[in-house]
Structure formats: structure tokens, C-alpha cells
């Protein structure tokens, strides 16, 4: 049976993994319901049309949450513990955009900690979010 994680010792600087998702109207409404963030920029098309963005935008934290899928399910995978995250929102994400979260191993630290550079792009290849993530990698 194949392993569903990579151990700290197996991780190499420069390793990459990614996850893509098209963010739907349903995703935005569910996220608003879970978090209580019913900002009109996310849920009201008429109000959003008169905003800086000219249309509804996805909650930044919703788009940014895709990194959890990459780290927890793909690389390093099962057993990864999220410790810290830094993020900058570069461009808006609109309903219907396909967002790809890609992680790159930037640094291995002591005690099983790994720092990743994180970049999110839309379907046009434009960077929409960037940041870093620090995790405690599985030990095996």
C-alpha cells in the first residue's frame, strides 16, 4: 500500500505540490454561513458592481484556505500540522475563477519544521495571493 505522506527526512528543498479548485457561488455562500462574513462584496452582486471590484469577489480567506488541502492531503500529507501562515492578497479572486495553490519547499528547520513558499494563481496564470506556511512535517 502506498504511503499518503512524506516524512521530514524525505522532504527536499525545491519540492513542489499543488491543488486547483474552481470557486463557485455555493462555495462563497457556504463560507459566509460558516464564518458569518456576509460582506456585500461577496454576496450581493448589485452592491459589488458599484465597488472597486465591479463584481462579487471571493472571500480572501476562502481562496487562501486551499493551501490546507495541498499541505494536509498531498505534500507532506497525512499527519502534517499547520503552525504558522503569512499571506498577502495581490489581486481579487472572482466567483468562477479557478485558483491553484502551489507550495514549494523553501527551508527545512530543526525539530521537523518545514517552511514553504505559497503562491496562488488564477486560470489566467495571474498571481492572486502569495505567502509562506510553516508546518510540522510527519515523522513516519
In which band, very low, low, confident or very high, does the pLDDT at 2 lie, cut at 50, 70 and 90?
low
What CA–CA distances, in Å, run from 70 to 50, 56, 133? 35, 26, 11
Is residue 125 classed as helix, strand or coil in its secondary structure? coil
The strand pair at 98-108 and 113-121 is best described as antiparallel
Across the chain, what does the average pLDDT equal?
A: 96
The strand pair at 16-22 and 113-121 is best described as unpaired
Q: What domains appear along the chain, each with residue ranges and CATH number?
A: 8-22+63-136 (3.10.129.10)
DSSP per-residue codes, 45-75: HHHHHTSTTSS-B--HHHHHTHHHHIIIIIS
What's the pLDDT tens digit per position in 20-36? Answer: 999 999 999 999 999 99
What's the pLDDT tens digit per position in 33-63? Answer: 999 999 999 999 999 999 999 999 999 999 9
In which band, very low, low, confident or very high, does the pLDDT at 3 lie, cut at 50, 70 and 90?
confident
Cα–Cα distance measured from residue 102 to residue 104, given in angstroms and rounded to the nearest whole number: 7
Q: What is the torsion angle, in degrees rounded to the nearest 10, for the CA atoms of residue 41, residue 43, residue 49 and residue 53?
A: 40
For the chain, percent of residues with pLDDT exceeding 90: 96
Residue 71 reports pLDDT greater than 60: yes
pLDDT at 27: 98
Beta bridge partner(s), residue 115? 107, 134
What's the pLDDT tens digit per position in 88-116? Answer: 999 999 999 999 999 999 999 999 999 99
Sheet holding 98-108, edge to edge: 16-22, 98-108, 113-121, 127-136, 81-89
Residue 140 reports pLDDT greater than 90: no
Amino acid at each position: 500500500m502506498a504511503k499518503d505522506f512524506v516524512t521530514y527526512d524525505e522532504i527536499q528543498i525545491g519540492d513542489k505540490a499543488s491543488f486547483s479548485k474552481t470557486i463557485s457561488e455555493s462555495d462563497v455562500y457556504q463560507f459566509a454561513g460558516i464564518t458569518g462574513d456576509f460582506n456585500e462584496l461577496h454576496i450581493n452582486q448589485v452592491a459589488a458592481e458599484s465597488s472597486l471590484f465591479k463584481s462579487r469577489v471571493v472571500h480572501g480567506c476562502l481562496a487562501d484556505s486551499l493551501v490546507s488541502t495541498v499541505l494536509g492531503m498531498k505534500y507532506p500529507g497525512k499527519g502534517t500540522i499547520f503552525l504558522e501562515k503569512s499571506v498577502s492578497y495581490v489581486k481579487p479572486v472572482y466567483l468562477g475563477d479557478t485558483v491553484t495553490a502551489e507550495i514549494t519547499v523553501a527551508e527545512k528547520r530543526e525539530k521537523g519544521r518545514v517552511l514553504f513558499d505559497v503562491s496562488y494563481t488564477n486560470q489566467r496564470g495571474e498571481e492572486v495571493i502569495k505567502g509562506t506556511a510553516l508546518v510540522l512535517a510527519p515523522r513516519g
